[in-house]
A and B are shown apart, each in its own frame.
Chain A
Amino acid sequence: MAIDYSKEVRAGRVKQRMVYESGNEMAAYAAHQIDYHIMGYFPISPSTEVAQHLDLMKTEGKHGIRLVPSDGEHSSAGICYGASTGGGRVFNATSAQGYLYMMEQMPVQSGTRFPMVLNLVCRSVSGPLNIHGDHSDLYFALNTGWPILMCRDPQAVYDMNLMALKLAEDPEVRLPVMVAYDGYFTSHQKRRVQTFEDRADVMAFVGEKPPEGFAHALDRENPITIGPYMNEPDYINNRYQMSQAMYRAESVFERISAEYFELTGREYPMLDLYRMDDAEVAVFVMNSASESIKDIVDELRSQGVRAGSIAPNMIRPFPQRQIAEALKNVKAITVGDRADSCGAHGGNMLNEIKAALFTYGNSSTQVVGRIYGLGGKEFMAEDGRHFFELAIEAARKNAVDVPFDFYGHTPGDPAKAPKRLLKPLNFDALKTGLITVTPNEETGKLAVKIPPLRSLTKKPKRLAPGHGACPGCGIFSGLELFFKGIEGDIVTLFHTGCAMVTTTGYPHSSHKATYLHNLFQNGAATLSGLVEMFWERKRRGEFEGMGLQEDFTFVMVTGDGGMDIGMGPAIGAALRGHRMIIVEYDNEGYMNTGAQLSYSTPLGHRTSTSGVGKQQQGKSFHHKDTAQIMAATGIPYVFTGSEAFPQDLVKKAAKAQWYAQNAGLVYGKILIACPLNWMSPDDQGAVIVDAAVSSNFFPLYEVEQGITTITYDPEAKNKKVPVSDWLKRMGKTRHLLKPENEAALQEFEREVDRRWNRLKAKHEHPDL
Chain B
Amino acid sequence: MAVLPEVNQLGFFEIRLESIGGLGANLAGKMLAEAGIIGAGMDGVSFSSYGSEKKGSPVKAHIRFCEMGTPIRSATPIEHPHVIGIFHEALLKSGAASGVLPGGIVLVNSAREAARIADEAVLSGCTVAVLDATRIALEEKNKVNMAMLGGLFRLCGFLDPAFMKDVIAASLGKKYPQAVEQAVRAFERGYAEVEMLEVAPAAELPLAPAAAAPLGYLNQPLGGMVVTPGSSLLKDLSVSRSGMLPAFDRATCIDCAQCDTACPDLCFVWEEQPDKRGRMQMVLQGIDYQYCKGCLKCVEACPTESLSRMLEQEGYAAAHQVKHRFDLIEA
Interface residues of A (CB under 8 A from B): 2-6, 20, 22, 45-46, 127-128, 131-132, 153, 182, 184-186, 188-192, 288, 291-292, 294-295, 378-381, 409-414, 416-423, 425-426, 452-458, 460-461, 463-477, 480-481, 498, 501-514, 592, 643, 646, 675-676, 682-687
Q: Which residue of A lies closest to B74 (CB)?
A: A292
What residues of B have a CB within 8 angstroms of the CB of A643 in the complex? Answer: 261-262
What residues of A have a CB within 8 angstroms of the CB of B237 in the complex? Answer: 465-466, 468
Per-residue 0/1 for B217-241: is the Cβ within 8 Å of any A Cβ (1 yes, 0 no)? 1111001101111111111010011
Known contacts A20-B38, A413-B212, A686-B300; A466 and B261 CB within 8 A of each other: no
**Pair A291/B68 contact, Cβ less than 8 Å:** no
* 20 cross-chain CB contacts under 8 A: A3-B72, A22-B47, A186-B75, A190-B30, A190-B46, A291-B74, A292-B75, A294-B71, A378-B77, A380-B76, A412-B212, A413-B212, A453-B260, A465-B291, A471-B56, A471-B242, A505-B232, A508-B226, A513-B229, A682-B297
What residues of B have a CB within 8 angstroms of the CB of A503 in the complex? Answer: 232
Known contacts A192-B37, A192-B43; A472 and B232 CB within 8 A of each other: no
- In whole angstroms, how far apart are the Cα atoms of A728 and B36 in the complex? 39
Whether a CB of chain A sits under 8 angstroms from the CB of B3 is no
What residues of A have a CB within 8 angstroms of the CB of B265 in the complex? Answer: 465, 467, 469, 476
Whether a CB of chain A sits under 8 angstroms from the CB of B208 is no
- In whole angstroms, how far apart are the Cα atoms of A6 and B43 in the complex? 12
Whether a CB of chain A sits under 8 angstroms from the CB of B294 is yes
A475's contact among B56, B71, B264, B284, by CB below 8 Å, is which?
B264
What residues of B have a CB within 8 angstroms of the CB of A416 in the complex? Answer: 214
- In whole angstroms, how far apart are the Cα atoms of A460 and B5 in the complex? 59
Identify whether the interface residues of B are mostly helix, strand, loop, or mixed.
Answer: loop
Stretch at the interface among B154-162, B177-185, B323-331: B323-331
Q: Which residue of A lies closest to B298 (CB)?
A: A683
- In whole angstroms, how far apart are the Cα atoms of A416 and B91 in the complex? 24
Identify whether the interface residues of A are mostly helix, strand, loop, or mixed.
Answer: loop
**Pair B218/A474 contact, Cβ less than 8 Å:** no
- In whole angstroms, how far apart are the Cα atoms of A295 and B261 in the complex? 56
Q: Which residue of B lies closest to A676 (CB)?
A: B55
- Tell me the minimal C-beta distance from A539 to chain B in angstroms: 26
What residues of B have a CB within 8 angstroms of the CB of A292 in the complex? Answer: 73-76
What residues of B have a CB within 8 angstroms of the CB of A420 in the complex? Answer: 227-229, 231, 329
What residues of B have a CB within 8 angstroms of the CB of A379 in the complex? Answer: 76
**Pair B262/A477 contact, Cβ less than 8 Å:** yes
- How many B residues, CB 8 Å from partner? 89
A461's contact among B56, B266, B294, by CB below 8 Å, is which?
B266
- In whole angstroms, how far apart are the Cα atoms of A457 and B261 in the complex? 9
Whether a CB of chain A sits under 8 angstroms from the CB of B270 is yes
- Tell me the minimal C-beta distance from A565 to chain B in angstroms: 17
- Tell me the minimal C-beta distance from A336 to chain B in angstroms: 15
- In whole angstroms, how far apart are the Cα atoms of A190 and B29 in the complex? 11
What residues of B have a CB within 8 angstroms of the CB of A190 in the complex? Answer: 30, 33, 45-47
Whether a CB of chain A sits under 8 angstroms from the CB of B209 is no
- In whole angstroms, how far apart are the Cα atoms of A422 and B327 in the complex? 6
Q: Which residue of A lies closest to B235 (CB)?
A: A466
Closest 9 CB pairs of A and B: A412-B216, A466-B232, A464-B230, A128-B224, A472-B295, A416-B214, A2-B71, A470-B55, A471-B293
Most buried by A among B72, B74, B228: B74
Whether a CB of chain A sits under 8 angstroms from the CB of B312 is no
Extra 12 A-B pairs, beta carbons < 8 Å, given A422-B328, A426-B327, A507-B228: A20-B33, A291-B73, A414-B218, A420-B228, A453-B257, A457-B268, A460-B327, A464-B229, A465-B265, A471-B242, A477-B261, A501-B52
